[in-house]
Structure 1
């Protein structure tokens, strides 16, 4: 009995369908299914430093004389699956933001034995666009109180949760979105003194050390073994670095054209050992807040008194919570799920 052969078009369709299934399985594994572990490769050895809080009668700790290492003129970066370029700081945007009249309103002024936190809402108009941002001025009694937490308490790719849920699970007083490390294959991840990943690819890295100092590094300057030996307490990989370590806006940023546009933002800044700024800028909301460009964010962090500052995961991820309540106004009301948070623990 003669078998009927399938027509060529049917064979082609079957091959394409099989190929699509294979591609789908690969994408499912790489970008959807959680790939987690709770085990870090090692711990750093330096004990977190202790600081006197302002209300305890001692003045602010002096800033480290050694500034950040700055940013080279050019770099390539595969963050968010796109190469970074060296984008010049836009002086017109910086000028417009610096000249904008800011109105500041204190929302929270709280003091505990662990930390003193003052959160302000700042509003202004730059280039005819409304801007609303929230600046948390944070003093901690020890570096150990600048903490981070993973979504689901697990390190790995594609593991996400809302900032609010992570803040509640970890009993945070203040919490902001982190670097969402789990969205990239090339990241240096050091959290609460534990080393999970060493290679940042070609991204700028921000390191908070156990002595309370904070520095940013271009990929070409970064060596994981060195910062671990120096007592790295946290290391974030997103960027770019926003200031040069001496409080000045650099001539260029390592970023993408998309990330450089007007967006909601999250950033962390360093004033002195034990003194930090957590900042969230609302955006993409007509009539309320447009967001800011990278140049504007850098100028903002400079005006907040930072020597070093670093851009974290923004857009819909940019959220600030305090004691379980949203301080900022994220897109959609809750933001989106991400890999991690930066937080200050509540007093137990």
Structure 2
């Protein structure tokens, strides 16, 4: 990569090049740290990205002539990514790196080569692809976590505000909040347990056995119903017949199952994908409870009336903004917009119950 010819660079040019240099080093370090926590293809991809950042780093070193005696610090975003990559190596880092790659300064930088500008656009697509893999792996558990915590936040906030608006005592509001927490968490846990247990039972009921394989050696090679087993599981007719013939031939030759794979077409890891019913139940209980406890905290610590309601709104608002921003980061969307959307939905539901509490209450709060 050759630096473009230039007139005498100004001090501002050299400061800008030095800043680019430290940013490229910081980005390369992020990819190196992420690669250290990965294996296989993802590791190779991340190491290749780190190599590309070193090429860009060398470009700015060539322009500067040598390593400057004093370099600026990398930006806050780059330092934060480096810190997170070294400790977590999570999808959050890739999602943030994706956003960083989308804002390349080289598009308007006359001293960046066309190859560097093209590299940055390619890097964005590569990081986006890696982040998409992580999002797919995380989607189920992340959805459950956000749903559980958010459900606890919004439902219990709505409950305590609605009860509080009727003018009852603070002790009654606290009791209602704790009761709502337990009722909701137990309901969530029981629902998840029944859902996962039912799905595991359904999988067990549809699991095939090896009875047909065990008797394959006694079948007539030309007239048998073994092919129907595969057709019943969705295989095409010709492929079913060919597989059945291979199994019967191998069984009669005394090497039953050779080069054919098991007759059981159900994936062995289906139960692992579904997960444990007790794990799902306990996780749902805890996630709901972790959200539902927040609106009750002001009453737990002795606040009353309007003060308790205001503090509850502030605490829940912070939690809603945090979960919304987290969703935004992971989805690659604007975190602020997602955070405000989450806040509006949660406060909207709470406002409805508060108004109902005022309308049907026995007194003003």
Which bracket does the TM-score occupy, shorter chain normalised?
Answer: under 0.3
- Output the TM-score relative to the length of structure 2: 0.17
More helix by share: 2
- Output the TM-score relative to the length of structure 1: 0.18
**Structure possessing the higher relative contact order (Cα contacts under 8 Å, 6 or more residues apart):** 1
Task: Decide which structure has the larger Cα Rg and report it.
Answer: 2
